Amino acid sequence: MARKKSKETLADKADKYKCYLKSVQSPEHEVEFFDQAFMEVFGRKPVTLREDFCGTFAVCCEWVKLGDQRTATAVDLDVEPLDWGRQHNYSRLSQQQQSRIRILEQDVRKHNRPRVDVLAAQNFSFWIFKTRPELLEYFRLARSNMADEAVMVMDMMGGGDCYSEGVVDKRVIKKGKKGFNYHWEQGRFNPVNHDADFSISFKFKDGSKLKRAFHYQWRFWTIPEVRELLQEAGFRETHVYWELEDKDGEDTGEWERGDDVPSNPSWISYIVAIR
Ligand SMILES: C[S@@+](CC[C@H](N)C(=O)[O-])C[C@H]1O[C@@H](n2cnc3c(N)ncnc32)[C@H](O)[C@@H]1O
């Protein structure tokens, strides 16, 4: 007797990279911030970008739209997100834009030329380096891939809530039939060495889930530790940027430097290091 075919769930049909892009990334805001960070130091617009840990290199694809001179280098060692990026992000660009992106399937800890104006390491990806020597080595190499006048941009998260285990941040990404929910889960946190476990799951309208679609084992670095290592690696200055809030406490999408800010239970910031 033929087995009854089980119905395909929304999770079966979902594309985890598409869900990730919709929930986690806003490449157009990222590139806007890179311009701001560079302009504030050098008073001109940057031209070249290197996106370390680029995944699907959505940020590079946005960068080359900003001007005919702009070029971008995308670096990741995993061929799967790179291929997804080729098919879904890169393919949407004009030929002229495509010709200004170079995709490198390699470790970020490699020298490449030419050196760039902006080197970005987004979504906490450098937290994969768990010890001071490893992170210092990465920062030194990153610096060597940067032009004389250049900035490195990284994001950071923190706040008291981030040290609790099992906290799940749930967000509705899109309402309606095609809508889904995004769950960011903080799993284990080890206070002795700051090893931390995070995962991203997606939940769909029919109750099906892409459980732990992305999973990260990182060291939970703090801002002072990272700034000290950047200084040790040779960067001449570092600045921390915080998002401005409107009068109702809502994020505005505008960022400014801050050295003494309120201690929110959960925050995201940028560190900008000047070469
Ligand atoms: C958290 S994802 C970030 C993707 C993307 N930057 C973003 O903002 O969404 C981390 C990425 O880093 C890549 N990665 C991890 N270690 C790496 C290394 N040593 N060299 C190059 N890529 C690495 C992984 O393959 C993965 O695509």
Regarding the beta carbon of 128 and ligand 1, being less than 6 Å apart is answered yes
Q: pTM, whole model, 2 decimals? A: 0.94
The size of the chain, in residues, is 275
The secondary structure of residue 180, as a DSSP letter, is E
Regarding the beta carbon of 80 and ligand 1, being less than 6 Å apart is answered no
Supply the pLDDT for residue 43: 98
Regarding the beta carbon of 77 and ligand 1, being less than 6 Å apart is answered yes
Kindly report the three-state secondary structure assignment for every residue of 13-30.
HCCHHHHHHHHCCCHHHH
Regarding the beta carbon of 46 and ligand 1, being less than 6 Å apart is answered no
Regarding the beta carbon of 129 and ligand 1, being less than 6 Å apart is answered no
- Residue nearest ligand 1's atom 4 by CA: 55
Sorted by sequence, the CB contacts under 8 Å of residue 94 that are 6+ apart come out as none
SS3 state of residue 267: strand
Please give the span between the terminal C-alpha atoms of the chain, in angstroms, as a whole number.
Answer: 69
Helix (H), strand (E) at residue 137 = helix 132-144
The tokens for 195 are 């090893």
Name the residue of 119, 125, 200, 212 to mutate for ligand 1: max ligand atoms within 8 A of Cβ.
125
Query: 42-100, pLDDT tens digit by residue?
Result: 999 999 999 999 999 999 999 999 999 999 999 999 999 999 999 999 999 999 999 99
Cα 7 to ligand 1 centroid, rounded to whole Å: 34
Q: Do the Cβ atoms of 63 and 72 come closer than 8 Å?
A: yes
Query: 106-147, pLDDT tens digit by residue?
Result: 999 999 999 999 999 999 999 999 999 999 999 999 999 999
CA distance 101 to 82: 12
Cα 206 to ligand 1 centroid, rounded to whole Å: 31
CA distance 213 to 204: 13
From residue 48, how far is each of 189, 242, 250 by CA, in Å?
37, 24, 32
Amino acid at 30: E
The secondary structure of residue 77, as a DSSP letter, is S
